[in-house]
Amino acid sequence: MDIIQTLTDEFQIRREQVENVVALLDDGKTVPFIARYRKEMHGALDDQTIRRLALRLQALRNLEERKNEVRTAIENKNAMTEEIGKALDAAKTLVEVEDIYRPYKEKRSTRGSKARERGLAPLAELILAQDPATDPEQEAAAYISEEKEVPDTAAALQGAMDIIAEQIADDAKLRTKMRDLYQRFGTLVCTATDPEAESVYRNYYEFESLVPRVQGHQVLAIHRGEKEEYLKVNITVAEGLAEQTCTKPYVRNSSPCGELVRLAGCDAAKRLIIPSIIREVRSAQFEAACTNAIKVFASNLEQLLMQPPLRNTVTLGLDPAYRTGCKLAVVDGTGKVLDTGVIYPTPPHSRIEEANRKVTRLVKQYGITAVSIGNGTASRESESFIADLLPSLPHKVSYMVVSEAGASVYSASELAAAEFPEYDVALRSAVSIARRLQDPLAELVKIDPKAIGVGQYQHDMPKNELQTALDGVVEECVNAVGVDVNTASAPLLSHIAGISAAVAKNIVTYREENGPFDNRKQLLKVPKLGPKAFEQCAGFLRIPGGSQPLDNTAVHPESYDAAKSLLARFGFSLEDAAAGKLGGLSDSIKKTGKSTLAQELGIGTYTLDDMTAELQKPGRDPRDLLPPPLLRSGNIMEIADLKPGMELMGTVRNIVDFGCFVDIGVHEDGLVHISQICDHYIKHPLEAVKVGDVVKVWVLDVDVKRNRISLTMLGDKPKAKPQNRNNRQRNKK
């Protein structure tokens, strides 16, 4: 296989682009570095495309490695033929390779292998020839042997049929046909192990759908329901179709031998092929559903991490609780903890006046303008307390209820203990809740992405694939934003391209012992941060107020000379760039001509474009272009207050295959079904909404008993759900 050409065809890009990306990856370059600083080599492919290409490259190399292993194994058995060699060369998946290898693989003891040991292979070959003149009963008599445990002609014929059945089952082309049959025309059938049992899988107690039409979230729900023994699952095709598919290539006539071959083919279908094909089809279906779910999870995580920060805001973090009281943490605009405390405004204490005085004092003392409330236990009562208090405060204060997902994991971790050794677990959680509102990216990178709660069925996902995808998202987000090397935590630094966890700790230790970094070159003094790591990380680390203004931009040190020449070419200085006084630079570049100027500076046009953007907005943060978080200032509602047709503003908290969940301020996120997101057909909610979007919604229906809220984004008149072309199945219920 020409892997480079395969990647070129699959990604529909130039071969040269693929060759350069592969060379850079093989040289140990990181995806963020390649995407940002080697655009001239790959034609400005984005980081997601490069990451997908890297994963596909590894998969194709693994495929080639397995092909070579199989080729060697077959050659060692002296069974290699030109036909097998061509089939291996043409195989595009591991399943195809394993089908080819199946007849030559060492098998455990089977009915067919035992029959061969009893010397019945010649009889099987005779029957398979299907000569109309052959009498199988008469021929079988010659194989009767007490010593070989063949007591009669029936046993001999059965042994021969077992050999034929295994030969049919090992036919790679036949297995491909059967796999295609079940994938295209199979019907997935679910039934309940106990129809009276109450469970979240009740919708699948009597469920049928063509295999190609089963949605990813349905596959995952059915998989879990079967795992938890609520469901029994099978795939069926039209009666007799599978047997006919297996026997047709082998049965030549209706002679007695032909009838035995037909019976052997039916046995191969029922006993050897259909069960394994069903497993393979369901496994492929589950794998595809997982791949899609991981993509959705990764997209949700990216949107969550890239939420705009609440800059330069003194924030009060409130971790709600009942008996133990609500923990407080006051955090300044840089994330530094200024004060902590505990109040008891919730039952069973309900010391509201005392809590009012304490919060009011903190607001006045530290100039608090935002309150971040965790959405866990007692969140409703805590929000009500804060909302009632806001009008009496000396200046405007707003609040937001933030997700606590993962906060308890972080607060009990070694990392949190090292960061805040003087605080108990609950106070650390309050600090984390405050910082989540101030800078979601910096805080959430400390938590395992799987604990953040923006996916679906993440505990059923393949762990390695999920972790790889989520780690890639975190790396992309951190490097896209860049970090201040003098304030960033070790966990945040560890996601910078080229920096390992150990090097990140060394950076923090170095600045603690030697003071803040004054320029990027000082990073080379950090233990274990050598030239290769420096090349990868330098452009993503910022040093505001240092001796080199370019160190506070994404301009890479390798391009500093070009940047200085560019500024000097049009009469500007580095100081002008730092002060934001580069008016007219873009026009001057345009007049000169980008290609001409790039050649003059010895750089590519992509680098010139990026450099110009950075010089004009040093230290810029891409998150600032997004709408700010939706802060509230009162008007607490309960779910019982909601009425159909009511208009509300909310924040998208999670996106799944069948819709999105929106926080409308009543502690239960409402579901906007995919059919209620747009007035035109969309294949997936991600086409229209993102996590963190502030959206206008209308209430469709409220189920107070089950705490379920149905919303629409289509207007104030409830609309019936239209038939979704992507969700057709027969549901007997």
Pick from 328, 361, 362, 363: which is nearest to 343 by CA?
328
pLDDT at 730 over 60: no
pLDDT at 639 over 80: yes
Boundary of a domain, candidates 381, 405, 438: 438
Query: Based on the domain organization, do 648 and 695 belong to the same domain?
Result: yes
Query: Based on the domain organization, do 139 and 46 belong to the same domain?
Result: no
Res. 526 pLDDT band, cuts 50 70 90 = very high
User: Rounded distance, CA 432 to CA 589, Å?
Assistant: 45
Res. 8 pLDDT band, cuts 50 70 90 = very high
At residue 410, the pLDDT reads 84
And the tokens for 206?
């009597």
Boundary of a domain, candidates 575, 593, 625: 625
Residues facing residue 483 across a β-bridge: 541
Res. 725 pLDDT band, cuts 50 70 90 = very low
Answer yes or no: are the C-beta atoms of 159 and 150 closer than 8 Å.
yes
* 284 lies in some domain: yes
And the tokens for 528?
């274990």
User: Rounded distance, CA 335 to CA 602, Å?
Assistant: 42
Can you give the residue range of the structural domain that contains 17?
A: 3-104
And the tokens for 159?
């042994």
What would the mean pLDDT of 333-358 be, rounded to a whole number? 94
Burial of 608 (0-12, 13-18, 19+ CB in 10 A): buried
User: Rounded distance, CA 420 to CA 411, Å?
Assistant: 9
At residue 731, the pLDDT reads 39
Query: Based on the domain organization, do 138 and 250 belong to the same domain?
Result: yes
* DSSP-based three-state secondary structure for 544: coil
Q: What is the dihedral of CA 277, 278, 279, 281, to 10 degrees?
A: 80
What letter does residue 194 receive in the DSSP assignment?
Answer: S
What is the β-pairing status of strands 231-236 and 187-192? antiparallel
At residue 358, the pLDDT reads 96
| Residue-wise pLDDT tens digits, 325-343 | 999 999 998 889 999 999 9
Bond preceding residue 308 cis, omega within 30 of 0: no
Res. 716 pLDDT band, cuts 50 70 90 = low
Query: Based on the domain organization, do 165 and 283 belong to the same domain?
Result: yes
User: Rounded distance, CA 295 to CA 198, Å?
Assistant: 31
Q: Where are the beta strands (DSSP E) in 151-230?
A: 187-192, 206-210
| Residue-wise pLDDT tens digits, 12-64 | 999 999 999 999 999 999 999 999 999 999 999 999 999 999 999 999 999 99
What letter does residue 722 receive in the DSSP assignment?
Answer: P
Query: Based on the domain organization, do 72 and 164 belong to the same domain?
Result: no
At residue 651, the pLDDT reads 87
At residue 636, the pLDDT reads 61
CATH of the domain at 616: 1.10.150.310
At residue 246, the pLDDT reads 95
Q: Which amino acid is at 144?
A: I
CATH of the domain at 77: 1.10.10.650
Query: Based on the domain organization, do 156 and 286 belong to the same domain?
Result: yes
User: Rounded distance, CA 264 to CA 282, Å?
Assistant: 26
Query: Based on the domain organization, do 429 and 563 belong to the same domain?
Result: no
Query: Based on the domain organization, do 568 and 657 belong to the same domain?
Result: no
* 694 lies in some domain: yes
Q: Which amino acid is at 85?
A: G
Q: How far is CA 259 from CA 130, 247, 252, 555, in A?
A: 9, 10, 9, 77
Percent share of the chain, pLDDT over 90: 75
In the block, which residue shows the tokens 């095709």? 237
And the tokens for 618?
């040093």
And the tokens for 383?
């929000």
Query: Based on the domain organization, do 329 and 419 belong to the same domain?
Result: yes
Query: Based on the domain organization, do 433 and 525 belong to the same domain?
Result: no
Pick from 271, 246, 242: which is nearest to 181 by CA?
242
State CA 335 to chain mean position distance.
29
Answer yes or no: are the C-beta atoms of 397 and 368 closer than 8 Å.
yes
Query: Based on the domain organization, do 158 and 261 belong to the same domain?
Result: yes
* 301 lies in some domain: no
Pick from 227, 183, 182, 236: which is nearest to 201 by CA?
227
Find the range with the poorest average confidence among 260-269, 438-447, 562-571.
438-447
Rounded to the nearest 10 degrees, the angle between the axes of helix 274-305 and helix 216-227 is 110
What would the mean pLDDT of 599-624 be, rounded to a whole number? 90
At residue 368, the pLDDT reads 96
CATH of the domain at 382: 3.30.420.140
CATH of the domain at 281: 1.10.3500.10
The answer for residues whose C-beta is within 8 angstroms of residue 656's C-beta and 6 or more apart is: 217, 296, 456, 685
Boundary of a domain, candidates 572, 594, 625: 625
pLDDT at 364 over 90: yes
Res. 634 pLDDT band, cuts 50 70 90 = low
Instruction: Count other Cβ atoms within 10 Å, centred on residue 200.
Output: 11
User: Rounded distance, CA 318 to CA 397, Å?
Assistant: 14
Q: What is the pTM of this model?
A: 0.83
User: Rounded distance, CA 31 to CA 536, Å?
Assistant: 10
Q: Which amino acid is at 719?
A: K
First to last CA, the chain: 49
Query: Based on the domain organization, do 133 and 253 belong to the same domain?
Result: yes
* 60 lies in some domain: yes
* 308 lies in some domain: no
CATH of the domain at 685: 2.40.50.140
pLDDT at 628 over 50: yes
Find the range with the poorest average confidence among 106-120, 227-241, 257-271, 625-639.
625-639
At residue 407, the pLDDT reads 79
pLDDT at 723 over 50: no
User: Rounded distance, CA 92 to CA 62, Å?
Assistant: 12
The total number of structural domains that make up the chain? 5
Supply φ then ψ for residue 540, to 5 degrees: -100, -5
Answer yes or no: are the C-beta atoms of 75 and 25 closer than 8 Å.
no
Sheet containing strand 231-236, edge to edge, reads 231-236, 187-192, 206-210, 730-731
Rounded to the nearest 10 degrees, the angle between the axes of helix 153-169 and helix 121-129 is 70
User: Rounded distance, CA 361 to CA 363, Å?
Assistant: 5
User: What mean pLDDT, rounded, does the chain reach?
Assistant: 91
